[in-house]
A = this chain, B = another copy of it.
């Protein structure tokens, strides 16, 4: 084999030997690609469910205030996210060294969905944008070695999807007590995200398409905030008191 690889090939057998080697390599890469695509699909599904869980718990109709519920949602979310991280851990050996870049396209979809879920949980807990380093840290083994290098592009594209979930959260929360303040916080937050991502658009493929979705989400939140502002403008009472009156009139 060694000789057939480093010299010209004089016999048919030598040619066949060489191609036999290629076949093994191509089959191996193809099998690996299939395994990674399957894992990526699993991650996508789990991440989507995690996002639903976060919404569910964060907008539950309990007596608690929004913050308490958000924290409980985040806590439950972390449990789900750890399950996903275990799948990433199991993919480590398939993505070592130059294998990561070879198969990046197969891994990206699941990874971005995971980042969307992770950043949503992070937002519920901290009301901030999760940093690149923090995301990479969730994808490291105990010794702190990354399973694979996180690309800036996957990080940004995942975050970009977060704004859509925040919009949904804001709209659901808005008619609850304290929801207006929350909506207005989220409005400011999403506005900042949009501004921060704007300058990166020409350098990150696919980001500007997602920016236009972010823009739509932002306008939906703005419209919701507007409705509330207009509605309370007719009364001269602070919004807390208005809320109480409404609550009393309904709860009967």
Contacts and interface: CB of A to CB of B under 8 A. Distances in A.
Interface of A: 12, 27, 30, 34, 37-38, 41-42, 45, 49, 61
Given A27-B49, A30-B45, A38-B38, 6 more contacts: A12-B61, A34-B41, A34-B42, A34-B45, A37-B41, A38-B41
A34 B41 CA distance: 8
Nearest to A23: B52
Contacts of A61: 12
Contacts of A12: 61
Determine which residue in A12, A27, A34, A37 has the highest number of CB atoms from chain B within 10 A of its CB, and name it: A34
A188 to B, nearest CB: 34
A37 B34 CA distance: 12
Contacts of A37: 41
A38 B41 CA distance: 9
Contacts of A42: 34
9 contacts: A12-B61, A27-B49, A30-B45, A34-B41, A34-B42, A34-B45, A37-B41, A38-B38, A38-B41
